[in-house]
Structure 1
Amino acid sequence: MTVATSQKLPLDWTTIIYFSLIHLVALLAFLPGNFSWQAVGVFLLFHWITGGIGITLGFHRLVSHRSFEVPKWLEYFLIFCGTLACQGGPIDWIGLHRIHHKHSDHTPDPHDSNKGFWWSHIGWMLFEIPARSDIDRYIKDIKDDPFYNFCQKYMVLIQVALGLALYAWGDAWVGNGWSFVIWGIFLRLAVVFHCTWFVNSATHKFGYKSHESNDHSKNCWWVALVTYGEGWHNNHHAYQYSARHGLNWWEIDMTWMTIRFLQALGLAKNIRLAPAK
């Protein structure tokens, strides 16, 4: 983040406090009394449900880019899973992502990588950026949908309900409900945050380019590993509409495998793909 950027924009203290609290409470996971393999399992399960199924499959490939179609009930389920990632409601997330692709690595881009790794990773969310006032132009297909608006409005309460359920589960299973809350809510949120943010930051700095995309997007294997295939970012920016991001045989794309599975079940159709080589 550049000094000029921080001087021009007012700080978003609600977001700063929100992120700070989540990261601070997440550190409690490393206290011995809060560790159990069951809690680790809960962490991994909800990392996949919220980061992989919700954000990557639902928010990103299904709705932001309309790379494929599913029945409305399944779309709503995926949006609900993405809401559990607490990265902002689906309307804001999808709108900002579409703005990013419209202006990738140029001034209107919310997380323009030209402003530095820190800015594109987290800094842009800590300020009241102009792009937020432009979201409505980019979400005309979802802004009046009652379910999307419910998730947008009640994101935090939905997370609280999950926390209560995890507390009861942990208390019944390992006699420590708080361990499941700490690992399944706070640590999971913090880790999924950074996994998602690496797509904005690391994949515009590290890796290789396979296609001309008119921006700094790159294919980064380790980001693909922690984001279920989102790290093949240069491929994605070159063919934004494609449901498949890993275009070469070595570019493992777990989300594409999930889409193929849904297709085999008859739940995914009209799948859009990059042209074959």
Structure 2
Amino acid sequence: MAILVFFIAHYYLSLFTQTFYLHRYAAHKMFTMNKFWEKFFFLFTYICQGSSFLSPRAYALLHRMHHAYSDTELDPHSPLYSSNAFTMMWKTKNIYNAVLNRDYAAAERFEGDYPEWDLIENLGDKWYSRLAWGTMYVLFYVNFATAWWQFLLLPLHFLMGPIHGAIVNWGGHKYGYQNFDNHDHSKNTLPFDFLAFGELFQNNHHKLPMRVNFGVKKWELDPTYAFIWALDKVKVVKIKRKWQEDVQMAA
């Protein structure tokens, strides 16, 4: 039971920080927050992602490129130019590393307006940080695993961030339905969105990239939006626009 709880908690906390902080805040700035909360969620992202921590700056730049060049050869993670999800994510990893090291000219036009904290960003990318988190995962399993097969979950812990990216970028541009003609292959993969907290409404998001609620139909529920809505009510964040008009145009 302890292993199952730990795995589910790690999966969804890591997923939440990726969609809430890296995607909707760092890449799009769909809402604002003060410096205290920006630092809090920066650190929270590092803790939740652990060994697979992704730089908010590099994530933001890759994602902005993804929108600008969606499903073209310049898209850093389009399934149209890879034979499978593994080769797509390997390509993404190489571009991510180049962007992180400021050695990718195509990303330069997208620079600016993302959260920065050099101490945590540099720490999160160090091999000893990733190794330390991985060691903690292993030690937890050594102490609480009740069957050998549970250790097979460890690679998922090590690579949690990229796994979420693979699910969204492969599934969200390969399978599902379209509410809008975006001149790309973005789709809404509703049956599997329980694995993505709203991220698999890719077709909606590519049509309305600044809409904080990724669902546009009444039955398209975006769990992350519900959390952002609550944080807006208690004034931790401030949603930039309510986007009621987007619901009307999609109805």
TM-score by length of 1: 0.72
CA distance in 1, matches of 2:139, 2:108: 39
* 1:267 positional shift: 1.0
Q: Tell me if 1:213 matches 2:213.
A: no
2:14 corresponds to: 50
2:113 corresponds to: 141
Q: Which consecutive residues of structure 2, in runs of 5 or more, have no partner in the other structure? A: none
* 1:195 positional shift: 2.8
Q: Tell me if 1:262 matches 2:231.
A: yes
Q: Which consecutive residues of structure 1, in runs of 5 or more, have no partner in the other structure? A: 1-36
Q: Tell me if 1:201 matches 2:170.
A: yes
Q: Tell me if 1:118 matches 2:81.
A: no
Q: Tell me if 1:230 matches 2:194.
A: no
* 1:136 positional shift: 3.7
Is contact 2:175–2:189 with CA below 8 Å preserved after alignment? yes
Is contact 1:49–1:81 with CA below 8 Å preserved after alignment? no
SS state at 1:211 partner: coil
CA distance in 2, matches of 1:264, 1:125: 36
Q: Which runs of 4+ in 1 moved over 6 A?
A: 167-171, 179-182
Is contact 1:90–1:151 with CA below 8 Å preserved after alignment? no
- Amino acid in the other structure paired with 1:209: Q
* 1:256 positional shift: 0.5
1:1-277 equivalences in 2 (<5 Å) = 37-52=1-16, 54-83=17-46, 84=49, 86=52, 88-116=54-82, 118=84, 121-125=88-92, 127=94, 132=99, 133-134=104-105, 135-142=107-114, 145=116, 147=117, 149-155=118-124, 156=126, 157-163=128-134, 174=144, 186-274=155-243, 275-277=246-248
* 1:126 positional shift: 5.6
- Equivalenced residues, count: 234
Is contact 2:201–2:215 with CA below 8 Å preserved after alignment? yes
CA distance in 2, matches of 1:129, 1:195: 15
- Amino acid in the other structure paired with 1:140: G
Is contact 2:60–2:114 with CA below 8 Å preserved after alignment? no
SS state at 2:172 partner: helix
* 1:187 positional shift: 2.6
Structure 1 residues 263, 127: closer, same or farther in 2, change over 3 A? closer
TM-score by length of 2: 0.78
1:19 corresponds to: none
Identity %: 22
Structure 1 residues 212, 41: closer, same or farther in 2, change over 3 A? same
* 1:246 positional shift: 1.2
* 1:90 positional shift: 2.1
1:25 corresponds to: none
SS state at 1:122 partner: helix
Is contact 1:217–1:234 with CA below 8 Å preserved after alignment? yes
Root-mean-square deviation (Å): 3.2
Is contact 2:231–2:237 with CA below 8 Å preserved after alignment? yes
Structure 1 residues 165, 87: closer, same or farther in 2, change over 3 A? closer
Structure 1 residues 211, 128: closer, same or farther in 2, change over 3 A? closer
1:7 corresponds to: none
SS state at 1:204 partner: coil
Is contact 1:223–1:230 with CA below 8 Å preserved after alignment? no
CA distance in 1, matches of 2:191, 2:232: 27
